[in-house]
Structure 1
């Protein structure tokens, strides 16, 4: 039979009280949310060879309002069809991009495929684009995360990823150390 001192009993009671449980639930929930955000905004796109963009205008309302995160993945030009949502460069080689829906696919006299796109909320088509301008086809999108994506630079996202990894490793080390101490304390009594 193990006899606990008053201080040990108080510590054990604190580990099962309502505040302890609330703290545990909140910390696990926060950890889960951070891991999910890192997964959908950084890890999954990077592993899939995709790029995340933020919708900045209302041209794709109602499906893609401003602030929505769209993740686009490169696809073969032959796989692009009418109705697909593409992200393309306004001018080939320039950083400015637009995300709109394909309304027609045609071929030039030289046989090069051209695409005409339009925002869902727009009345007019965009100027035709060529394959070199296409950055990718919509893979998935998430509401409101575009605001977070816009607020963070690529280097900040990298730092946050490493910070989260370090935090998780530190948390697991603290938990392991606490369990080891508790196990050692029970053996000594």
Structure 2
């Protein structure tokens, strides 16, 4: 008696499921205008910072006073629009060749910035100064007394004087805090944006490595 073999079921081959990894999103390319904008923004930020430093911070820290040259009397070295920062000095230290700022009349706000061309001794030992603009043909009419002198030229920056006029007086109390907030805000935005960009690139690199 022959044994009857029961048919065996054909082996079922299961297809392995292949999970297709999602391709990493390509990084967004930045055009040249983006980099131009970044460069312009950085330049403006630096300009505002330098102006604030020269016009506000340094004079305030040293007790100096910024003035704006309004006429051509001190050309060519100090043309109209030049910012001159005047530091307080003793009248005894002022000599021929120094540039000083003095009141036209003692106690009044109107001032002139001219060069000393002679030092004189008045009655009673008080020194007086003969001044003249570098671009003027004759000396100033009246000698300058010690009490009129506001100080001696410390440093000068061309063209920034017009900016000083805009932010002078009561306007400065409003503009300076606003400029400070803008500067710190912009710096913070640049820092956060840079950190987020680095984080995004790191995640894309990790995703590409796991693919």
- TM-score, with structure 1 as normaliser: 0.84
Return the alpha-carbon distance in structure 2 between the equivalents of residues 78 and 48 of structure 1: 20
**1:23 paired residue number:** 37
**2:175 paired residue number:** 160
**2:17 paired residue number:** none
Shift of 1:130: 1.3
**1:48 paired residue number:** 62
Is the aligned partner of 1:111 residue 2:128?
no
Return the alpha-carbon distance in structure 2 between the equivalents of residues 177 and 59 of structure 1: 50
Return the alpha-carbon distance in structure 1 between the equivalents of residues 167 and 53 of structure 2: 15
Unaligned runs of 5+ in 1: none
**2:106 paired residue number:** 92
1:71 to 58, 71, 85: 85
**Number of residue pairs aligned between Structure 1 and Structure 2:** 183
**8 Å Cα contact 2:118/2:131 also seen in 1:** yes
State the structure with more CA Rg: 2
Is the aligned partner of 1:134 residue 2:146?
no
Return the alpha-carbon distance in structure 2 between the equivalents of residues 180 and 121 of structure 1: 55
**8 Å Cα contact 2:89/2:152 also seen in 1:** yes
For residues 178 and 48 of structure 1, do their structure 2 counterparts lie closer, same or farther at Cα, with a shift above 3 Å needed? Answer: same
**1:186 paired residue number:** 203
Shift of 1:179: 4.9
Shift of 1:152: 3.2
Is the aligned partner of 1:149 residue 2:174?
no
- TM-score, with structure 2 as normaliser: 0.76
Q: Secondary structure at the match of 2:28?
A: helix
Q: Secondary structure at the match of 1:35?
A: helix
Instruction: Provide Cα deviations, 1:139-177, integer angstroms capped at 9, x if missing partner.
Output: 111112222222333232332221122112222333444
Q: Give the root-mean-square deviation of aligned CA atoms.
A: 2.5
Return the alpha-carbon distance in structure 2 between the equivalents of residues 85 and 172 of structure 1: 39
Instruction: Provide Cα deviations, 1:36-72, integer angstroms capped at 9, x if missing partner.
Output: 1111121122222211111112222222222211111
Unaligned runs of 5+ in 2: 1-21
Return the alpha-carbon distance in structure 1 between the equivalents of residues 196 and 77 of structure 2: 53
Return the alpha-carbon distance in structure 1 between the equivalents of residues 123 and 53 of structure 2: 44
